Each structure stands twice: as C-alpha cells, then as structure tokens.
C-alpha cells in the first residue's frame, strides 16, 4: 500500500449547506436571534463603504485632537515651564539646572526662584521654577502650573519616606504633567561602572514604582544624556493635566498696580494664556486671595512691545450671569435624573408601622398645630401633637379629610398567640436600686467585651431616653425611608436655601464646559494683561512673581457659588491614625484650598439618597466627605491635610476626588441602644437594660429591633417600672445574643473658609 488512511469519515465543508432545513438552521442557532433594536433605536447595518468612512473620520478626529494639543508648543516663543525638585537634602536644584544647561547659573537669577533661559540651540525658551523645598504647598503649586517636572535622585542618600516620598505621592495625587528623573552624582560617587549599574537599577526600580511609564533616568554627569534631557524638554509636547487644561490658567510674568483715580486702582497681571482660555465676562481665582471679576483683558500685539489691544469690556452683571446659569438647571433632561427620587417622594410615605404606602391611600391628620407640616407630624405621636395643639393652637385644615390618622400597634391575635404568662411578674420582684445598678454595670462590662457596635450609646440609670434622644427618629430601613432634604430644623445652616442647587450634575457639568469653550475671549498662546480691582489690604501680601510664582485660574460659570460638595476620600498611605469626623483640616481640590470640618459618610447610592455618617475614618477605608465649599464643574483631585498658618509643616491625612455637588444627599447620624436577653420563650423574649422606665418603652414601641445574630423584631409591651419589656422576633434567639435599636437624626455639613496661602 502506498499509504495508510486513518479514517473513512469525510468532513463536509461546514459553510456549505445547500439542503439545510428551517429545523436544522434553528437547531444550529440554538435560539439566538439577530439584534435589531438597541436603546429603542433600530440598528442600521453599515455597508463596507460606510464602515471605511467611519474609520477615516475617527482617524481624522484623532489627528485634529493631537494637533490641537501641540498647537501651543509649535511656536518657539512659548516658554516651557519646568519645575526642579531634589528629593534628598544633599541635592541642589541650582546644581541640577546648571548640569542640564551645561553652564553656571548667575546667583542673582537663582535668588529670583523663577527665571527664564533661552536655548538657542533648540530654538526654545525655558522658564525654571525652584519652589521652596521646605514648604509642600509651594511645591504642589509649582508642579500644578508646570509643563515638565524634574525630580533629582541621589546616588549616596536614600529618599526619605517622610520627605521625598511624600513629595512624589502628593504631586502624583494632584496630577502631574510629563516628568523626568535625574542622577547628578552617580559617576562621582561610584567611579566603577559595575557599581554605577547596580545603583542605577535600584533607583530606577524605586522611581518606576511611582511612574511605571518611565523610560530611563538621566545621569547628568554624562554630557550626552544631559543634552538628551535638554532636547526632550525643548522639543517634546507635555501630556498636560486634564482638570487644568479644561480651563484657562496663567503664570504671571509681571504684576503692576495701575492707578485709575484717587479711590480706584487695578492690579494688572501679564502672562501667556494656557489651557482653554479666559472669558472677559468671567471670573478668575487667585490661590490664597479668592475669586475676582475681570475688569478688562488687553491682548499684546507683539511680545516684545507694550502695544496692546483692549478687548470689549461691556460685560453683563455678574449676578445676572449667575442667575441665567441657575435658570438653566431646570431643563427637562436634568430633571429626569432626579425624577425617580422625586416620584418616590410625591407618591409614597412611611406609615407608623414603618411600611411604605401610597400617599393617596393614607388619610392625613385632621388636627395639626400651627406651623407644623404633614411631613413633620409623621415623626411625632398623637399625644405629642395634641399637647402642641393645646399649647400653640390648631391650624386651619378645612381641606383635609376628617378621618383620623390612627397609629397601629401589634396585631392583637398575634399578641395573644405568643403571650407568655410566666414573664408577667418577673419585674414585680423586689429589686433595690443598688442591686439594679450593680447588675447594670456588670452587663455593660460584658457588653464592651462582646459587642462590636461602633454607634452604641448607654443611658444612665436616671436618664430619660425621650429627652436625650428627642432629635432622633426610628426608621425601618434607612435605604428606603422618606426624608425631606429641605426639612425645617433649628440646626440647619442659615443660608441652606441660598446655596447653589444643581439637578443632574454630570449633564450640567458637560454643558458648562462646552459653553465656556465657545465663549473664551483669549486662547492659549496669547500674551495678555488681565486687570482686576486692587484691594490695598488684601494684596499687601503680594510678592514679586520672580520670587514667588503667581498663578491665576479661570472659573467656569457658577464655580464661585457655595454648594454642598461631596468628595470621595480614603486615608493617606503613610497615615495610620483614625481621623475623626468634623475634625478641622484643609482641603486642596484642584486650584482651591479651603479650611473645612468635613462629615464622613458611607459611600452608598440609595434610591432615597440617605447615607449614614461615620464617626471615624480608619486606615484603608473609603468614604464620602461632605462640606459646603465652592463647587467645581470638573472632576478634581483632592488632598486633605493639616498645616501651620503659613502652609508649612504640612501633614497629609487623606486623598480623594471631587465627586459632585448634591443638596439632596441627606446625612444621618446613628445611635444604637442595646439590651440584654433576660428570658426566652420561643420567639417572645424579655429584654432589660435598654431603657430604665416604662414611659421610654412605650415611646419607642414602633421602632424595629434587631439582634447581633441577625434576628429582627418589635416591642410588644412594657414590664414593670424599670424599663424591661417583652419583644417578639422572627425566629428563636440565642441566650447570648444582644438586642439593638437603631435611631437616626439629621446632621448638616458646615461651611468652609478660604485659607490665605
């Protein structure tokens, strides 16, 4: 035989099926059908020519976007801002710059800390910034405005975790543009090349941990590498910072006080526009000084002359502009985002048995005190309302149905079925107050060892719960209860209704960005002079911009308005201590710095927008920090820290991101009252030490109970006069279980203040 044939089976070509029946095709597809509709829109199958055209459009858009990013640096007259930061104490920023330029730097220029050097060889101009290396705020501000950041590493001194590493982490957390790392002393410290290679690998691994995309470290003692670094700085297009480039910003070259008349003067700020640009009708922010309205913008015809063109300054009133933006918030597409929550509040409410019911099916109270709303009355008992009516009078409710709103207790049949007579007289035994207090202290000692409720509180033996917890409410489920975000509360901030209110933050943010880009008066690359009103007292702290960098940032519409702002937050990597809620700290989000006392809350997304606050933020935890500060129309990185009055001695506590502004987010504080299981009979349990009198038991009879082991129940009746009571649970309890009752109250965020640095 010529060969061996392994099988006689013939493999038919699977793509050829001339005699396929409908049955065989259906079996082959196995129920799969072609999708013809997506998001209520019919899917149109593109032809080959249409697909090719779409691909070319995406390609052209990408090219246009890249050219737009490179437009600013196509001109050789645009200064490239470079910040130099040595990460060890034995390094000098002046020495690093001298090695990069391969020439000595004049001492007078160095004292200015901000100086410009022309690079004729590469037809470029570099503006170097040497920040105050003992002040982290100065370093952060310099890196924020820079196109390139150069970090100096040492071959003989290790980077200190409390200094060098903190600088890198902080700069990386706030956003950093293109960066380089240099080694100025590796050759002089290690003459042997094998040692140089080992040290280089170690330092490269360290730096790569923070910036994984780094290509190499530049050894500045090698002339070719220092020249390559200088070429990259002069010719490379920096990657930029997203949040910074979405608005206009400027590094001042010169500051002038211009006197208009005896009572009025202007501060003129000269510089080159970067980012999106400035709008003559808009506002600007000066870090450490606040928000200002632009009086005029003068555009320089020639960068080397003082001739200029004054742009139109017939602005509308600032308040009028803000009112217009406020009116835009009521658009239908923004309201749709909150429609689900609003519909829930309009159609449903909780009854006194903590069930979600239709408002139309629930009769309203016919008797309400003067000044009390139906919402407020839902949190109070009938006896309390009748007492208030007797004190302040009855309001006119002629339009309210006459049917009385009756509170429903436990079903009588269920109560009779589960009643246990042996517990009737257990509290009638004679127990002296001293013996009761002794048992109570023993219980609390055991409870501290076993219980792990962070919001637990204890009532003293002579303390009345209804007095101490008068502001707290019981709810069946915090995630589904209804809560009025504008409720009348004596603890509510006085300006609560005046804060900026935005519905549909993301839609609003996108529209603001598009509108601002189309309304700018000067664009990136323009040499301008921006003038604002001069305040003698405020600007007495001004320094020469050559000694301390002076930056300005444009504000998008409504960004000067105070609002309830939320930050996603987590503890700083090197900070181990728990951080208490409402602790005084400084938040830097983007270009702003405010002193705040934030409220920490759980990072939840409930349909009712109610969240529980956290008393502490522990290491490794994620939370939401809420404070009243000016809103931002862009997503900004945030740093939370403590520092001295001048910004020195900074200790970073947390890092995070500006999430949104949401006035409907309700923050609640929880307290947990706990009790001990005394006797058990099936699902009926006798509980003690939660309350200390029978009136408190009856007052909180409708509040649900829970146990540490996951059972749920409710109070049946009070027993005796010491606050003990019967409770019914959904299943049998363990004798070692601990019973809890959750109560909540509304807490309000506090307003922050601008810090002067």
Residue bearing the bigger pLDDT, 690 or 407:
690
Within a 10 A sphere around the Cβ of 112, how many other Cβ atoms? 16
- Tens of pLDDT, residue by residue over 30-73, are 777 766 666 667 777 788 999 999 999 999 999 988 887 777 78
Q: What value does the mean pLDDT take over residues 320-336?
A: 40
Residue bearing the bigger pLDDT, 353 or 707:
707
Cα distance between residue 599 and residue 630, in whole Å: 16
Residue range(s) in the chain whose domain bears CATH number 2.40.30.10: 245-325+513-553
The residue behind tokens 């015809």 is 301
According to the per-residue pLDDT averaged within each range, which of 196-200, 337-341, 352-356, 478-482 is highest? 196-200
**Res 294 pLDDT > 90:** yes
pLDDT of residue 409: 37
Residue bearing the bigger pLDDT, 344 or 629:
629
Cα distance between residue 261 and residue 131, in whole Å: 37
Cα distance between residue 584 and residue 642, in whole Å: 8
- Tens of pLDDT, residue by residue over 699-743, are 999 999 999 888 999 999 999 888 999 999 998 888 888 899 999
- Tens of pLDDT, residue by residue over 126-179, are 999 999 999 999 999 999 999 999 999 999 999 998 899 999 999 999 999 999
Residue range(s) in the chain whose domain bears CATH number 2.40.10.190: 412-477+669-745
Which range among 382-396, 423-437, 486-500, 610-624 shows the weakest confidence by mean pLDDT? 423-437
**Res 233 pLDDT > 90:** yes
Alpha carbon distances (Å) from 390 to 371, 383, 540, 566? 14, 11, 61, 43
Q: What value does the mean pLDDT take over residues 505-534?
A: 91
What fold does the segment set 73-240 form as a domain? Rossmann fold (3.40.50)
**Res 395 pLDDT > 90:** no
pLDDT of residue 598: 96
274 within 8 A of 127, measured Cβ to Cβ = no
pLDDT of residue 371: 61
Mean pLDDT of the chain: 81
Q: What value does the mean pLDDT take over residues 633-637?
A: 92
CATH of 245-325+513-553, one of 1.20.120.550, 2.40.30.10, 3.40.50.720, 3.40.50.300: 2.40.30.10
Q: How much of the chain is in helix, strand and coil states, percent to nearest 5?
A: 30, 25, 45
pLDDT of residue 399: 40
**Res 95 pLDDT > 60:** yes
Instruction: Report residue 3's pLDDT band, with 50, 70 and 90 as the boundaries.
Output: low
β-bridge mates for residue 79, sequence order: 125
pLDDT of residue 302: 56
Beta strands 265-272; 248-259: pairing state:
antiparallel
Q: Please, which residues have CB within 8 angstroms of residue 75's CB and are 6 or more apart in sequence?
A: 525
Residue range(s) in the chain whose domain bears CATH number 3.40.50.300: 73-240
Instruction: Report residue 585's pLDDT band, with 50, 70 and 90 as the boundaries.
Output: very high
pTM (predicted TM-score): 0.75
Cα distance between residue 98 and residue 726, in whole Å: 83
pLDDT of residue 66: 81
Q: Please, which residues have CB within 8 angstroms of residue 461's CB and are 6 or more apart in sequence?
A: 433, 436, 437, 440, 692
pLDDT of residue 335: 44
**Percent of the chain whose pLDDT exceeds 90:** 51
Question: Check: CATH 2.40.10.190 for 412-477+669-745?
Answer: yes
pLDDT of residue 105: 72
């Amino acid at each position: 035989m010529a060969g061996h044939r392994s099988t006689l089976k013939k493999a038919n070509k699977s793509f050829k099926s001339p005699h396929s029946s409908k049955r065989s095709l259906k079996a082959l597809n196995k129920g799969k059908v072609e999708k013809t509709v997506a998001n209520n829109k019919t899917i149109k199958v593109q032809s080959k020519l249409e697909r090719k055209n779409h691909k070319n459009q995406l390609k052209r858009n990408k090219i246009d976007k890249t050219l737009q990013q490179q437009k600013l640096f196509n001109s050789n007259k645009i200064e490239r801002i470079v910040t130099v930061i040595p990460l060890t104490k034995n390094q000098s920023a002046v020495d690093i710059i001298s090695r990069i330029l391969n020439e000595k730097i004049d001492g007078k220029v160095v004292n200015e800390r901000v100086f410009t050097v022309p690079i004729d060889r590469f037809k470029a101009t570099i503006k170097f910034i040497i920040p105050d290396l003992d002040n982290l705020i100065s370093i952060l501000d310099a890196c924020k405005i820079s196109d390139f950041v150069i970090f100096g590493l040492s071959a003989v001194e290790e980077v200190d975790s409390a200094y060098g590493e903190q600088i890198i982490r902080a700069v990386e957390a706030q956003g950093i543009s293109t960066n380089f790392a240099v080694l100025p002393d590796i050759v002089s410290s290690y003459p042997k090349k094998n040692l140089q290679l080992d040290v280089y690998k170690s330092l490269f691994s360290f730096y790569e941990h923070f910036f994984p995309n780094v290509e190499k470290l530049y050894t500045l003692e090698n002339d070719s590498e220092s020249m390559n670094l200088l070429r990259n700085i002069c010719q490379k297009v920096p990657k930029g910072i997203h949040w910074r480039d979405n608005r206009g910003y400027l590094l001042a070259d010169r500051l002038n006080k211009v006197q208009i008349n005896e009572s009025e003067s202007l501060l003129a700020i000269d510089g080159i526009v970067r980012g999106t640009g400035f709008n003559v009708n808009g506002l600007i922010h000066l870090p450490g000084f606040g928000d200002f309205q632009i009086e005029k913008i003068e555009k320089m015809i020639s960068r080397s002359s003082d001739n200029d063109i004054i742009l139109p300054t017939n602005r509308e009133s600032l308040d009028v502009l803000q009112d217009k933006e406020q009116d835009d918030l009521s658009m239908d597409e923004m309201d749709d985002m909150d429609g689900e929550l609003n519909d829930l509040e309009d159609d449903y409410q909780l009854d006194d048995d903590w069930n979600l019911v239709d408002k139309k099916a629930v009769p309203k109270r016919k008797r309400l005190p003067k000044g009390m709303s139906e919402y407020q009355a839902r949190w109070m008992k009938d006896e309390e309302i009748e007492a208030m009516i007797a004190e302040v009078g009855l309001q006119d409710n002629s339009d309210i149905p006459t049917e009385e709103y009756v509170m429903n207790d436990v079903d009588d049949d269920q109560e009779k079925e589960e009643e246990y007579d042996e517990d009737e007289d257990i509290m009638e035994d004679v127990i002296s107050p001293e013996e009761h207090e002794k048992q109570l202290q023993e219980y609390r000692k055991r409870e501290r060892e076993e219980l792990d409720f962070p919001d637990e509180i204890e009532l003293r033996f002579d303390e009345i719960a209804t007095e101490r917890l008068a502001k707290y409410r019981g709810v069946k489920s915090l995630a589904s209860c209804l809560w009025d975000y504008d409720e009348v509360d004596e603890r509510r901030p006085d300006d609560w209704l005046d804060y900026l209110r935005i519905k549909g933050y993301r839609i609003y943010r996108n529209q603001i960005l598009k509108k601002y880009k189309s309304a700018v008066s000067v664009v990136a690359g323009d040499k301008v002079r921006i003038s604002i009103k001069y305040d003698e007292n405020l600007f007495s702290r001004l320094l020469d911009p050559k000694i301390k960098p002076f930056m300005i940032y444009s504000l998008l519409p409504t960004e000067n308005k105070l609002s309830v702002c939320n930050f996603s937050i987590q503890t700083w990597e090197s900070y181990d201590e728990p951080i208490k809620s409402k602790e005084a700290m400084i938040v830097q989000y983007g270009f702003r710095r405010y002193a705040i006392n934030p409220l920490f809350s759980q990072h939840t997304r409930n349909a009712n927008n109610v969240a529980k606050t956290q008393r502490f933020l522990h290491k490794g935890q994620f939370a939401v920090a809420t404070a009243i500060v000016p809103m931002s129309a862009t997503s900004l990185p945030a740093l939370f820290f403590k520092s001295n009055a001048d910004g020195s001695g900074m200790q970073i506590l947390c890092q995070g991101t500006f999430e949104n502004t949401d006035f409907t987010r309700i923050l609640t504080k929880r307290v947990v009252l706990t009790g001990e299981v005394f006797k058990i009979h099936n699902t009926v349990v006798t509980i003690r030490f939660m309350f200390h009198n029978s009136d408190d038991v009856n007052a909180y009879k409708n509040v649900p109970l829970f146990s540490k082991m996951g059972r749920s129940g409710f109070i049946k009746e009070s027993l005796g006069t010491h606050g003990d009571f019967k409770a019914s649970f959904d299943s049998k309890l363990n004798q070692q279980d601990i019973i809890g009752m959750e109560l909540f109250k509304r807490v309000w965020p506090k307003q922050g203040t601008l810090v002067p640095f």
